[in-house]
A = this chain, B = another copy of it.
Amino acid sequence: MSSFEQTLKSDIDLVNEALDKYLQVTDSDYGKVIEAMRYSVMNAGKRIRPVLTMEFCRLNGGNKKGALACACAVEMIHCSSLIHDDLPCMDDDDLRRGKPSCHKAFDEATALLAGDALILKACEVIALSDTKKSVATKAIGILSSLAGTEGMIGGQVIDLASEGKKIDADTLSKMHSLKTSALIRSACCMGAVCADADEENVKNASEYGEYLGLAFQVIDDILDVVGDEKQLGKPIGSDEQNDKTTYVSLFGLESAHKKAEQYTNKALSILDKYEGSEFLKELTKTLLKRNK
């Protein structure tokens, strides 16, 4: 295992262990909803957001473990959005990472409540952690605003409104920035905040997250056209089927690849400002080449 793979594995192990502790079934009368939360959270996701939180903490001179509560919180918000996105009234997806989506494995009401409970749990774990109070409030402020209407949820609303109609490049870019980058930005910024970083370093974290998120979303669009269904764990071609405007539908595959590379390079150039950013650079490049 390379040193990069080792660090990635040790970060992910830390996150998985903490998530497992946060999501324990304590009472059988309402255990079902916690089982549904666990089903969606403990499913071997890529854990990109929590890894970013921990690594941006380290990059700014902090201790990774001190950012663990925030790292788990952003992953919980992410998983909540996936559960709710899959519901029949949203994308109506039966599969998620090759397994039945939460409302298929349980039922719609339980999936709805599991998503709600994950949002609350995210704020709870930060608030009740031993993170310094001034850092915890800052982190909760960042996470809740960038996941909310001015961030991820705002992007989902634009996404819903865009279904079945052509949108222009600016709207598409705004949608991606809100829907995908905002939460990734929150992950990076919370990490920096956990290390008591100053405004400039938090801004760097935010910009890195913005570019990485945009690259991430363009690659998602590409994989929906040329991806391997088995690797992805979901059917491809859904964007075209739903008549969705994507980077690929607007500019073609080749331009989309170039765009993803441009965004990735912009993210990398921010990391150039930091010593000890080799791991994050490798992670950034790996995400450009991902096939799932």
Contacts and interface: CB of A to CB of B under 8 A. Distances in A.
A116 interface: yes
B113 A158 contact: no
Contacts of A80: 116
Given A30-B153, A30-B158, A140-B127, A115 B113 contact: no
A79 interface: no
Nearest to A141: B127
A149 B119 contact: no
A267 to B, nearest CB: 25
A148 B127 contact: no
A284 interface: no
Interface string A205-248: 00000000000000000000000000000000000000000000
Contacts of A178: 30
Interface in A145-177: 145, 147-150, 153-158, 160-161, 171, 174
Nearest to A91: B109
State the number of copies, please. Answer: 2
B157 A113 contact: yes
Contact of A116 (B115, B124, B160): B115
Given A30-B149, A33-B153, A137-B136, A160 B120 contact: no
Contacts of A109: 89-90, 160
A112 B112 contact: yes
Contact of A119 (B120, B127, B156): B120
A142 to B, nearest CB: 9
28 contacts: A27-B154, A29-B154, A29-B157, A29-B161, A29-B171, A29-B174, A30-B158, A33-B154, A81-B116, A84-B116, A89-B109, A90-B112, A110-B160, A113-B153, A113-B156, A116-B119, A116-B153, A117-B153, A120-B144, A123-B123, A123-B144, A124-B141, A127-B138, A128-B145, A133-B134, A133-B137, A137-B140, A140-B140
Closest 4 CB pairs of A and B: A89-B108, A30-B154, A124-B144, A30-B157
Given A29-B154, A90-B112, A116-B153, 4 more contacts: A84-B113, A112-B112, A124-B140, A133-B133
